[in-house]
Copies of this chain bind each other. A is one copy, B any other.
Amino acid sequence: MNNTINNVAIVGGTHGNELAGVYLVNYWRNTEPQFITRASFSTETLLANTKAIGLNKRYFDSDLNRQFSAESLANMNLSNYEQSRAKVINQQLGPKGNPKSDLIIDLHNTTSNMGPSLLIPQQGEFYDLLAIYVREMMPEAVVLLDEDHIANQDHHLLSTIAKRGVIVEVGPVPQGVLKHEVNEQMAKMTGIILDFVELYNLDNLPQLPSSTDAFRYLESLTLPVNDKNERMGMVHKNIEGNDFQPVKSGDPIFALFDGTEINYQGDKTVYPAFINEAAYYDNNLAMSLCEKVVINNPR
């Protein structure tokens, strides 16, 4: 297969209240297009959930970033605002399976203390090299892999409709808020990814380290609830804000309202991400547990 990246799409506002991507896409589009321009590929920009952006909400009817599995895209009965918008975006940047876009960079914010994170939903040499390059150029960046448990056709993320896709996820920032440092980190990581693509296309990558550390998603933990599905507690203060820090068996993980604690019971050390993310409260999700892994340089 031809590995050259000819068309890159940078997407903001997939969630309407994650403002860094919305502002950066508008800024690059209107004021500084040279920031996202490189010689070896074309770049287009998209504001994905325009209605939710206008409302400063995550979504209008349903989460746009859960509508891009091949099955959902083919199901014409899924017709609410985001389900319709997904089909239009798939037409514009996809279609999934035979896409016009070679790479989507989808810009997101989280209320969790995840710093600048690169989320990678697929496997391959391109991604391994990208992860090592980003970590080399931006050591404060974290790489989070979620590419093992699901086929790309079944992935429901917007970033999976192109040939390749990544998510730039930066926090902590409350929903609907712009933070200077968060904007800077998002712009920096996006620029580094574009630099990488340019060097990758030109087969001109610098000498890179033989490996880099990363995290791989294992499973989600839900908040403890009673038999009426009411929350009985919250994320323990020892965990709060400590995304990507180790949690060992026996460590307190939830604080119940009655003053008692629930300890982590797993048999191996895990590393939580998306700790206490505001947008996941609808589903009572408390955090994502990850394992620490090593990405080896494939070259």
The answer to whether B56 touches A258 (Cβ under 8 A) is no
CB contacts under 8 Å to B, within A158-185, are: 172, 174-181, 183-184
The answer to whether B184 touches A281 (Cβ under 8 A) is no
Between A177, A184, A240, the greatest number of chain B beta carbons within 10 A of the residue's beta carbon is seen for A177
CA distance A262 to B183 in the complex (A): 17
Write out the residue numbers on chain B whose beta carbons fall within 8 Å of the beta carbon of A192. none
Write out the residue numbers on chain B whose beta carbons fall within 8 Å of the beta carbon of A235. 178-180
The reply on A193 being an interface residue by CB < 8 A is no
Known: A180-B237, A234-B183. A258 touches B31 (CB 8 A): yes
Select from chain B the residue with minimum beta-carbon distance to A20: B234
The answer to whether B237 touches A181 (Cβ under 8 A) is yes
The answer to whether A234 touches B176 (Cβ under 8 A) is no
Chain A contact surface mostly: loop
The answer to whether A23 touches B276 (Cβ under 8 A) is no
The reply on A126 being an interface residue by CB < 8 A is no
Between A176, A180, A184, the greatest number of chain B beta carbons within 10 A of the residue's beta carbon is seen for A180
Contact with B along A271-299 (1 / 0, CB 8 A): 00000101001000000000000000000
The reply on A111 being an interface residue by CB < 8 A is yes
The answer to whether B111 touches A179 (Cβ under 8 A) is no
10 residue pairs A–B, Cβ–Cβ below 8 Å: A23-B257, A31-B257, A172-B174, A175-B176, A175-B278, A176-B278, A178-B234, A180-B235, A180-B240, A181-B240
